[in-house]
Structure 1
């Protein structure tokens, strides 16, 4: 089973964006040495707790800080942008780091309505997402149809290799879109703990081959906290429990809550139910427990790649979590 990483550049309370982004770069180097397959970074807007707002810029930096691991976006929120410009951004990255670039695309806003309005300022209507994705694929492969509105246009620089194109989603709609367009598909279980298995199965059943993907390729992304023992993992994961609860309650935060805050938080009966429900989005435990959970997850989805995203109060716990998972699965860098 292949293991990969999605990093959201989380900020700890009292930390800075510079620190969070430097930790992302260090983490990319760390998981490359451990033998992980790919390293993706996310796009979030108008938030004080996550530092990654521009995947393309961060990927240019990460490519220079790493040597072999595939790097990509998880993902670019395409409705905010021009398909042509996104294609050029990722062709430039592909020219810099050939055969290492993944273009993960999503249609979520990545922020609250105010940031969406600002990002789309001046655009008269909601874009056709499916057409946008199709256009990106045309630009990346120089296959614009003769009847296309921009026929003859080239996304530069022209490259000999093409980034992998993935659709990211947390619903069956995204799965059907990926199948219809012929892209790879990553289900975001760390966003939605229900319906993922059915969505991936539907993706496979409906898949139509494309010039980029002759066969369906799918994976699942999940929160993961691994520590030397189950009890320690539960203690570390308590800060993620509280972070997700605060997000659900609309409580603004300047960073990942501390473990102490989480352990002392006066959860109501309803909030404890929310925390329990959120655990569907997470894998937590010691190495053997995590291994069993991830293998069961991959089997249920019928995939051979699982992407892990880990958000902890302390960066050292994040590093250790990925190290323990790599060890128990026998990854080799």
Structure 2
């Protein structure tokens, strides 16, 4: 099994964005040392609780601070941007770190409507153009714009012999359909918990059309994991995640990722507790043996060999330990 890391850089209660980014760098270095395959960072806008909004800037920093691990975006919200500019950004990253850069693409806004309007000010955006943007981006990356293209002859610089690895990110069937149709790599955000999305990976693999660069389907699943020495400790650490995502579900983005003490003292209603119980079913929380068993079961369920692990704890040392225990559980 291949294990990777997805980091959203939540700013924990009592800490700053600068401290959080230093922790992100430490975690990337640990993941590099432990043998994790990839380290992806996300794109979110206008959020007090998240420390980064520009994945490509952070990728440059993290790739320079590590030596082996692939570093990439999870993902770039392509409808906001010019495919040409994204291609040039990531070709430059690939030139700086050949063979280590991933370009994960999403079509969600990555923020609330106000930030979306600001990002797209002065331009017409049609979400239905996302598949066309993916085609344009790949053509720029490989210098293969078709003769009849509206920008035929245009090259994305720098001109290099390699290209970043492109993945289409999705939490529902829609992106799985696009990835299958285009013969692209597919990353399924299982931890989002979108109802009815469980068959997305199966659909992708069953309907995959081979492409020039990808003769076979390649899929990974992003899952939420908290691993600790005991089941009780893992469950206690997870209370911060429970409150953070419960608030998000209720339309209230917290200004920070709460501590365990804040989460345990929160006045939950009976409905809140039922929602937390339901959502926890999609998360993997427990001892190394329990986490290993759940991941192996999910490997059979999805039929894939790579999991991108999201671990959210207020205690940063507990977060580092969770990734260490997971690596040890799989003999990395």
Cα deviation for residue 277 of structure 1 reads 2.2
Map residues 167-182 of structure 1 onto 2, 5 A cutoff: 167-182=168-183
Cα deviation for residue 14 of structure 1 reads 2.1
CA contact (8 A) 1:207 1:216 kept: yes
CA contact (8 A) 2:80 2:125 kept: no
1:252 aligns with 2:253: yes
Cα deviation for residue 296 of structure 1 reads 0.7
1:288 aligns with 2:289: yes
CA contact (8 A) 2:172 2:194 kept: no
Match of 1:190, SS state, is helix
2:292 & 2:182 partners in 1: Cα distance? 33
Q: What is the Cα-based RMSD across aligned positions, in Å?
A: 1.1
Alignment-derived partner of residue 80 in structure 2 = 80
Cα deviation for residue 172 of structure 1 reads 0.5
Instruction: Report Cα offsets for 1:3-34 as digits up to 9, x if no partner.
Output: 00000011111211111111111100001111
Alignment-derived partner of residue 17 in structure 1 = 17
Larger mean CA deviation between 103-112 and 263-272 belongs to 263-272
Match of 1:29, SS state, is helix
Alignment-derived partner of residue 131 in structure 2 = 130
Match of 1:75, SS state, is strand
Gap regions ≥5 residues in structure 2: none
Cα deviation for residue 298 of structure 1 reads 1.3
2:148 & 2:79 partners in 1: Cα distance? 23
1:39 aligns with 2:62: no
Match of 2:199, SS state, is helix
Cα deviation for residue 103 of structure 1 reads 0.4
CA contact (8 A) 1:193 1:280 kept: no
CA contact (8 A) 1:197 1:300 kept: no
Alignment-derived partner of residue 55 in structure 1 = 55
Match of 2:281, SS state, is helix
Aligned residues: 331
2:147 & 2:213 partners in 1: Cα distance? 20
Map residues 234-249 of structure 1 onto 2, 5 A cutoff: 234-249=235-250
Cα deviation for residue 272 of structure 1 reads 1.2
Q: Runs of at least 4 residues of structure 1 off by over 6 A?
A: none
Cα deviation for residue 194 of structure 1 reads 4.1
Alignment-derived partner of residue 5 in structure 1 = 5
2:176 & 2:137 partners in 1: Cα distance? 18
Map residues 69-148 of structure 1 onto 2, 5 A cutoff: 69-127=69-127, 128-148=129-149
2:307 & 2:226 partners in 1: Cα distance? 14
1:98 & 1:44 partners in 2: Cα distance? 26
Instruction: Report Cα offsets for 1:22-50 as digits up to 9, x if no partner.
Output: 11111000011111110000000010111
1:30 aligns with 2:38: no
| Alignment TM-score, normalising by the size of structure 1 | 0.97
Alignment-derived partner of residue 205 in structure 2 = 204
Larger mean CA deviation between 247-256 and 179-188 belongs to 247-256
1:39 & 1:235 partners in 2: Cα distance? 26
Larger mean CA deviation between 122-131 and 109-118 belongs to 122-131
CA contact (8 A) 1:187 1:196 kept: no
CA contact (8 A) 1:194 1:280 kept: no
Gap regions ≥5 residues in structure 1: none
| Alignment TM-score, normalising by the size of structure 2 | 0.97
Cα deviation for residue 280 of structure 1 reads 3.4
Alignment-derived partner of residue 298 in structure 2 = 297
